[in-house]
């Protein structure tokens, strides 16, 4: 039976309310599962890369809209949106575009999930947003505080008061959470992940990961790998 959808030369999920509901419910695992299944079909069907680019540009806008709908200011999303827009435009392989798609859902959903950690402090809320938005940008704490018009000392005092841990410890923890996601949902090497997340070197990343998670990144990937 023709349901009227075969004529769309794009990702059918764009027109499916199910994805919006999964985003709203923060069900990142199910979304990633759907995306990976779609990737297999795209390779088998030899999907045109230009169609794929168009779809990802649409998804970039959809994810941004969903985050804004959950209360995050547009100005905090501009760097993330622009970063993915440029990556999509510059990439010319289906596999590369598929990797960008997984990166997009990981970053946007982690921002959506972690932003539920709202405190009674306006300053700390803005710090939380900035830390998550800049997790892969190698932006220093000094630069973040400067953008918020506060001193590092004031930011550190407020953060410790409302979160119970230091900013740097919190940043290490969310970087390791991102690393866990990258290890399970991408084929990036451990070295690539350590560089992406701003660690001094692979050894520093591995030691920090093991201290927080209890096992090395390699053992974590081998134990849980799903690609």
Distance of CA 171 to the CA centre of its chain: 15
List the alpha helices (DSSP H) in the chain.
17-24, 28-44, 49-69, 74-90, 94-114, 122-133, 141-147, 152-163, 167-185, 190-196, 202-213, 217-224
pLDDT of residue 227: 42
Q: Give 174 or 76, the one with higher predicted confidence.
A: 174
Q: What is the pLDDT of residues 81-140, one digit of tens each?
A: 898 999 999 999 999 999 999 999 888 887 776 654 556 788 888 888 788 878 887 888
Q: What is the pLDDT of residues 184-224, one digit of tens each?
A: 777 889 999 999 999 989 999 999 999 999 999 999 998 87
Average pLDDT, the chain: 83
Domain spans of the chain, in order of start: 13-116
**Mean pLDDT value across residues 158-165:** 90
């Amino acid at each position: 039976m023709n349901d009227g959808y075969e004529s769309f030369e794009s990702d059918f999920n764009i027109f499916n309310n199910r994805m919006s509901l999964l985003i709203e419910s923060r069900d990142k695992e199910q979304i990633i599962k759907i995306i990976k299944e779609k990737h297999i079909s795209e390779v088998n069907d030899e999907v045109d890369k230009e169609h794929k680019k168009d779809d990802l540009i649409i998804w970039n806008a959809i994810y941004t809209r969903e985050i804004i709908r959950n209360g995050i200011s547009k100005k905090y999303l501009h760097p993330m949106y622009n970063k993915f827009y440029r990556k999509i435009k510059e990439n010319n392989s289906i596999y590369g575009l598929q990797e960008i798609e997984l990166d997009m859902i990981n970053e946007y959903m982690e921002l959506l999930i972690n932003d539920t950690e709202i405190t009674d402090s306006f300053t700390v809320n803005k710090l939380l947003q900035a830390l998550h938005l800049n997790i892969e940008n190698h932006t220093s704490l000094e630069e973040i505080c400067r953008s918020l018009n506060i001193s590092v000392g004031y930011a550190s005092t407020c953060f410790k008061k409302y979160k119970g841990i230091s900013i740097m410890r919190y940043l290490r923890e969310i970087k390791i959470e991102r690393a866990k996601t990258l290890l399970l949902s991408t084929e990036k090497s451990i070295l690539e992940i350590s560089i992406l997340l701003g660690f001094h070197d692979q050894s520093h990343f591995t030691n920090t990961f093991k201290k927080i998670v209890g096992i090395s990144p390699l053992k974590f990937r081998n134990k849980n790998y799903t690609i």
